[in-house]
Amino acid sequence: MEYFFAIVSKGDNIPIAGMIPIVAFFTWLGLKEAFRHDRLTKEGREDEILDEMHK
């Protein structure tokens, strides 16, 4: 574990280490919206998807 921290804390690797949580968050957000849109499509409520996108 100490080697991992030593590698991550080097100057060149700090931006990469900071990007990992950001990428994880936006991946989760995108999948959450995709599953929601799939559910609305199955229920026949496609117009709600477009209305929300235009807000």
**Is residue 55 over pLDDT 80?**
no
- Residue ranges of domains in the chain: 19-55
pLDDT of residue 51: 87
CB atoms within 10 A of CB 37: 16
CB 40 within 8 A of CB 48: yes
Report yes or no on whether pTM surpasses 0.85.
no
Which comes out higher in pLDDT, residue 54 or 21?
Answer: 21
Instruction: Tell me how far apart the alpha carbons of residues 28 and 32 are, in angstroms, rounded to a whole number.
Output: 6
Sign of CA dihedral 32, 36, 42, 46: negative
pLDDT tens-digit readout, 4-41: 888 888 888 889 989 999 999 999 999 999 999 999 99
